[in-house]
Amino acid sequence: MIEVRGLGKAYGRQMALRDLSFQVAPGEVYALLGPNGAGKTTTLRILATLVRPSKGEARVAGFDVTREALEVRRRLGLVNGGMRVYDRLTGREVLSFFAGFYGLEGRAFREALDWVVGLLRMEETLERRVMEMSTGMRQKVVIARAILHRPPVLLLDEATAGLDVFARRALLDFVKAYRDLGHAIVYSTHVMSEAEEVADRVGFLHGGRLVYEGTKAEALALGGGSLERAFVQVVQEAA
């Protein structure tokens, strides 16, 4: 579902990504792990067609992110920490508005709405205005907006930032449920405990380079049962 080959991105003289390559299969959560500034967000922005790479190529669901950006967007959902929705609209109005971008109207919208409400257990948000919602409710609306068209690829960039323990738990449970539907997910975070819970495979980013890639079990074995220890060990060796 996702193929990244030799990807590089420069901002002036600063290289944010250097020769990055990885793949994500259907029904797989790939955790892209690294500290702030490692290149995680740049990678996801390239996959989401928001930033053009300086070199290399990336494909989402078989479509090139540079030459076929519109086709990529039709098959992609994106959620990052701090995303906002319109305060004065109800949850239903927000989702109805964004459904229009995907051509979901009438019966198609109602069916999509029923599906996403059931998946996220968000019945209580539909008739409530966003300004009256808790942080967790708002995040459910953000996620619903991203997956209303049932994209086969989902990108999550620090999606639990600012969430309380209950909202964080709901999001992690959603990630596993969406993966089990056969979708490909990139889960970008610097919180190792989250990756330990949801990831099938992990990639460690440091200085814009992929310095380690393996299954979660392999990474845990490397770190003596701790993904954080494995990450620190690999990054220290790379540095």
Q: Can you tell me the distance from the alpha carbon of 92 to that of 95, in angstroms, rounded to the nearest whole number?
A: 5
Inform me whether the pLDDT recorded for 81 exceeds 80: no
Q: Which CA distances in Å does 190 have to 52, 107, 166, 182, 196?
A: 24, 40, 19, 25, 11
Inform me whether the pLDDT recorded for 145 exceeds 90: yes
pLDDT band at 166 (very low <50, low <70, confident <90, very high): confident
The contacts of residue 218 (CB under 8 Å, 6+ apart) are none
Which pLDDT score, from 0 to 100, does residue 36 have? 83
Note the helical H segments in the chain: 40-47, 69-74, 91-99, 106-120, 135-147, 165-180, 192-198, 216-222, 227-238
pLDDT band at 158 (very low <50, low <70, confident <90, very high): confident
What DSSP state is assigned to residue 129? Answer: B
Which pLDDT score, from 0 to 100, does residue 37 have? 85
pLDDT band at 190 (very low <50, low <70, confident <90, very high): confident
- Delimiting residues of CATH 3.40.50.300 domain(s) in the chain: 2-75+152-238
What DSSP state is assigned to residue 51? Answer: S
CATH class entry, domain 2-75+152-238: alpha beta
Which pLDDT score, from 0 to 100, does residue 22 have? 97
Which pLDDT score, from 0 to 100, does residue 80 have? 86
